[in-house]
Amino acid sequence: MSRIKEIVRLTAQIKTQSVSMQRRLLLYWFSMLLAIGAVLVLILSVAGVFSNESEKAHDSLQLQLNNAKLEISQHMESLEAYGIALSEQISREIDTTLTANGLTVDDLNDNPELLLTLQKNLLPRLHTALQLSQCSGAYLVLNATTNTQSDKASHSATGLYLRYANQQTTGAAKQDVTFFRGIPEVGRAERLELHNRWNLEFDTDLFPGYYAWMQTEVGRLADACCWTERFRLTDTWEDVRLLCVPIKDNTGKVCGLCGLELSSLYCYLSYPEMDSSFGPMITVLAPLRNGSLYLSKGMTGSADSTFLAEAETLSVRQERYFNVYSNGSDSYIGLDCEVGIRGADGNDLTLAVMIPESTFDASRTSGRVLLICCSLALAALTLCLSVFLSKRFVQPILQTIQAIRSEKVSDGAETGISELDELMALVCSKTNEKLLQNDHALPPNIEELFQTFAERAKTLSSAERAILQYYIDGHEITEIPELAFISIHTVKKHNSNIYQKLGISSRDELMLYIDIFRRLGRLNELTEPVRE
C-alpha cells in the first residue's frame, strides 16, 4: 500500500513540474508535421498514388500465366509426341499391308476390301493412342476414297475417327469411345458404338492446306506438326482443334494425316477458372494477330463467372502492368505469351490469362476505400492532437500576457512552462521592488489610511505591541498564551484593546493590514517604540 502511495505521490509531483517552452514547441511542431503528413497521405490515397493493386494484379497474373504456360506446353508436347508416334506406326502398317498385296497408296481408291483390312489393322493403334494421351479424340485420314465417282469424292477421304462420348478430363476411370468416322464393320468388330453423327469418310476441306500437303515431301515429322484453327465438327454442336501430323509412305511422300483432337468441352473441363483476390482468372489459347485475340479460332477454359463468349474477337491494348482485352462492351485485364504451339498458318498460338476488369476495379476500389479510411482516421487523430497541444501551448502564454497587462501577477502562480513561470516571478519581484522604492505609488486616500493605521499602532501599550508582534510573526491566537506566559483570557482582552485602538473589528482585518504593510515593506512602522 505504501508503494502505491509513493507512486501516486511521484506521479502528482511529475505533473506539477514545469516543461520548457522549447520542448512544448518541438512537440507542437512535431504534431503539426504529423497532421500535415496525414493529410498529404489522405490526398494521395484519394488520388490513388499509394494503390498498388495493379502491381499485385500483375504479379498474380504473371504467376498464373507461368503455371498455365508450363502445364499447356507439357500437355501439347505430350500430344505431339503421341501424334508423331501414331504417324510412324500408321506408316509402317500401311507399308506392310500394301507391300504384302503388291500395291501402292493410289490402289486404295475404289478398293473397299483393302480399306476394310487396313482400317481393321489400324484401329487398335488409334484406340491405344486415344487412351494414352490427354485428349478428346484421335483420327487418321488417308488420301484415298471408297468411291471416286461420288459427287463428294473431290473433298472426301477415307479414315478412322474415335471420340469420347462422355467428355471428361484426363484421369477418369472409364470413358466410352464412339466410332465417328470409318467403315462401320470395323467399329462393330471392336464393339464400338457408332456416333450419332457418324459418317463413312472425312471432309478434307476441314484440314487447311490438305491437298498441298499431299504433294509435299516432309523431313522430320516434329517440324511438320501443326494445329488447325477451331472449327465446328460436321453435323454436331462441338468445336474442336486437331493436331495434324503427316503420314508418309515408303517413298517419303505424304499420303495422309493423323493426330489427336482437343474439343472445346475438353478444354473447358481441363482449364477451369482460378480464383484470385481480383476475380476469376480465365485461360485462353488462341491466335493473336494485328492487335486482336481471335477466340473464335482458339480454345477457352471455363468462364462461367464472366460474360466472355468463345466466338468473340478481343482487341488488345497494352498498359503499364497488364494488357486490356476488350470486345467493345466488356473488358478484361491480363497477360499473354507465346507457347510454341504452331497453327496451320505457321504462326504460334498465344496463351492469355485474363480477369474481368469489373471485378478488378471492384477489388481496387475496396482497397482504396480502406486506405482512404485509415488515412482519414490518422489525419483526424493528428489534427485533434495538434489542436490539443496548441491549446496547451498557447493558452498559458495568453494567460500570462493577460495577467501582466492587468497587473494581477501573484507569487506562486505556475503555468507549467518554465520560461513563463520565471517571467511571472520576475514581474512579481519587480512589482514588489517598485512598491518598496516608491511610497507615493499608492493613491493619496489609501496612503492616508495606512498613515492613520500606523499612527494608531504607536498608541499601543508594550503588552499590546507584544501581542501584535506575535501576529506579525504568523502565530495563531491559541499559541500566544504559551509564548507570552499569560492566559487566553488575557490575550483576548489585549485583542479587544488592539482592535479598538487600531479602528478595526476582527483579527482577519488586522492580518490584512499586516500583509499589506509587509508587501509595502513598511512593517517597521507598526513596530516602532511606544510613545511616552
Domain termination site, one of 363, 387, 404 = 363
Distance of CA 62 to the CA centre of its chain: 17
Q: CA 169, CA 270: separation in Å to the nearest integer?
A: 6
Q: What is the pLDDT of residues 286-330, one digit of tens each?
A: 888 888 988 888 888 888 777 777 778 889 999 888 999 998 888
Give the pLDDT of residue 237. Answer: 86
Q: CA 356, CA 333: separation in Å to the nearest integer?
A: 6
Q: CA 91, CA 142: separation in Å to the nearest integer?
A: 11
Domain termination site, one of 220, 237, 269 = 269
The residue-averaged pLDDT of 510-531 equals 76
Does residue 124 carry a pLDDT above 90?
yes
Give the pLDDT of residue 396. Answer: 64
Q: Which range is least confidently modeled, 174-183, 460-469, 518-527?
A: 518-527
Q: Which range is least confidently modeled, 13-17, 112-116, 332-336, 347-351?
A: 13-17
Residues 259 and 333 in one domain: no
Total structural domains in the chain? Answer: 3
Bridge partners, residue 137, by sequence: 163, 261
Q: CA 353, CA 276: separation in Å to the nearest integer?
A: 12
The residue-averaged pLDDT of 161-182 equals 78
Beta strand 177-181 pairing with 159-164 = antiparallel
Mean pLDDT of the chain: 80
Does residue 439 carry a pLDDT above 70?
no
* Nine cell digits for residue 45: 490515397
Domain termination site, one of 316, 336, 363 = 363
Residues 216 and 180 in one domain: yes
Residues 264 and 330 in one domain: no
Spatial neighbors of 480 by CB under 8 A, at least 6 apart, are: 467, 470, 486, 491
Q: What is the pLDDT of residues 388-424, one digit of tens each?
A: 766 666 666 656 666 655 555 555 555 555 555 665 6
Q: CA 404, CA 398: separation in Å to the nearest integer?
A: 10
How many Å from the N-terminal Cα to the C-terminal Cα in the chain?
A: 64
Q: What's the pTM value of the predicted model, to 2 decimals?
A: 0.62
Q: Which range is least confidently modeled, 160-174, 242-256, 439-453, 470-484?
A: 439-453
**Is 335 domain-assigned?**
yes
> What DSSP state is assigned to residue 253?
B
DSSP SS3 for 314: strand
Residues 255 and 292 in one domain: no
**Is 15 domain-assigned?**
no
Question: Which H helix or E strand runs over 282?
Answer: strand 282-286
Q: CA 447, CA 240: separation in Å to the nearest integer?
A: 120
Q: What is the pLDDT of residues 196-225, one digit of tens each?
A: 889 999 888 877 778 887 887 788 888 888
- Supply the DSSP string of 254-317, one letter for each residue: EEEEEEEEEEHHHHHHHS--B--TTS-BEEEEE-EETTEEEGGGSEE---TTS---TT-EEEEE
Does residue 33 carry a pLDDT above 60?
yes
CA distances from 97 to 118, 148, 336 (A): 7, 21, 47
Residues 262 and 290 in one domain: no
Residues 124 and 247 in one domain: yes
Range of the domain at 263: 67-269
